[in-house]
Amino acid sequence: MEQTERRQLVAQFWSIGQRFQKYLVVGAVGLAINQGLLMALVSWLGLPVAFASPPAILVSVVVTFLLNERWTWHDRGAGKVVHRAMIYFAINGGGLLINWGILVWLHREGVPYQLANLVGAAVAAVSNFSLNNSITWREAR
């Protein structure tokens, strides 16, 4: 591998690392919203965890899309924002199922729902980042 190729590879990894750090900050905001709404829906409204989780996740997905669009991937994404939003929601719909499935499973196994939700969100975040980085906000070619 030539020196120029190595530099390009290092620069590419650096860029992905920087973007992933931003994604984690946005994710922390989304997770706080998700956890807060989940706890409010369960504690204050008395909803079962399995029913309270999807709306809490959905609100956090809306907020994280807006933050990722304006900050994490502000320099990428071609076409209309509505198109990216549709892709983001499709990808994060899969993440919602991952998060929800892990939450429900772990909670049924006796894990407190707050902790089970954190585990589910962490697992979903990895796949969501990879897909959104390569599809929703892909680099212009």
What share of the chain has pLDDT > 90, as a percent?
67
pLDDT for 96-131, tens place per residue? 999 999 999 999 999 999 999 999 999 998 888 889
Residue 44 burial (C-beta neighbours within 10 Å; 0-12, 13-18, 19+): exposed
- pLDDT at 140 (0 to 100): 60
Alpha carbons 98 and 37: distance in angstroms, whole number: 18
> Within a domain: residue 94?
yes
> Within a domain: residue 16?
yes
- pLDDT at 1 (0 to 100): 73
The whole domain housing 24 covers: 3-136
Domains in the chain, number? 1
> Within a domain: residue 80?
yes
Query: Which sign, positive or negative, has the C-alpha torsion 12, 87, 114, 39?
Result: positive
pTM reported for the whole predicted model: 0.83
Q: Please compute, for residue 91, the number of CA atoms within 13 A of its CA located in the half-sphere on the CB side.
A: 23
More confident residue, 77 or 56: 56
